[in-house]
Amino acid sequence: METLSRERAHGGEQVVCRHRSESTGTEMVFSVFVPPHAPGARLPVVWFLSGLSCTHANVTEKGEYRRVCAELGLVFVAPDTSPRGEGVPDDPDGAYDFGLGAGFYLDAVRAPFVEHYRMRRYVLDELPALIAAEFPVDLSRQGITGHSMGGHGALTLGLSNPNRFRAVSAFAPIVAPSQVPWGQKAFAGYLGSDRALWRRHDAVALIEDGARVPALLVDQGDADPFLTEQLRPELLREACAQAGIALTLRLQPGYTHSYYFVSSFMDDHLRWHAQRLG
């Protein structure tokens, strides 16, 4: 692991690192904020998954999470959104919603993406092991959140691993990718035509098929240009109501899809995670 930068912030450290990933077969960059803590302490960790066209840098530079993480004693980790580098296949038309920057937090099964696009394995297995070896985290206290495509990832990974993630939240997530253009394009490209496989990476479908967590927190801007076509939070509301999952879904007036929106409600989400992580 190579440290690219290390900066003092709110009494803790903001670190950006690069390493060679076995999961993706590429170099991957991630950021970690470590709050001030007593020597030898192991701290709860919140994973933040970013959205389409983003890298670790978007939330690191715009998320405004460090002050509250320092106050609450939370480690905050932001991985990249896809593999990158020479030989990594991209959308043939260079579109932002597939390929580089758009890994959708799944493991591809279709060529040519199967070789590198293994973001689910990377986020669930490889990166946590690396973080636990290099930083003072307690992997028995993990929460996960994310924005847009990353909100999709947070919901699906959280629902699929309820014993690992004790808190799950999302900002403007793609809640039912099987039913919207972004998800349909990605799933067809990475997973093929098997709709049963699609359901394993779709939060609404997972809930319909029996996945359960005690509670979810979701914030959504009501001025988000992607709200009605791509995000469709009402489908999550209906699925949670049917399943008895305690969903707090807040439509925030006047907010769009930007990091101005994410940063405005970051404090609420981190406090919500801290309450559940102890």
Name the nearest CA neighbour of 231 among 203, 272, 254.
203
pLDDT of residue 277: 97
Per-domain boundaries in the chain: 2-277
Domain at 2-277: CATH code: 3.40.50.1820
Q: Please say whether the beta carbons of 44 and 143 come within 8 A.
A: yes
- Alpha helices per DSSP H over 109-215: 119-121, 127-134, 149-160, 181-191, 195-199, 203-208
pLDDT tens for the chain, residues 1 to 278: 999 999 999 999 999 999 999 999 999 999 999 999 999 999 999 999 999 999 999 999 999 999 999 999 999 999 999 999 999 999 999 999 999 999 999 999 999 999 999 999 999 999 999 999 999 999 999 999 999 999 999 999 999 999 999 999 999 999 999 999 999 999 999 999 999 999 999 999 999 999 999 999 999 999 999 999 999 999 999 999 999 999 999 999 999 999 999 999 999 999 999 999 98
Q: Which two tokens stand for residue 27?
A: 């170099």
For the annotated catalytic residues, the residue numbers are 148, 224, 257
Beta strands in the chain (DSSP E): 2-9, 12-20, 27-34, 43-49, 75-78, 137-146, 165-171, 215-221, 246-252
The amino acid occupying position 7 is E
Count of CB atoms situated within 10 Å of the CB of 71: 16
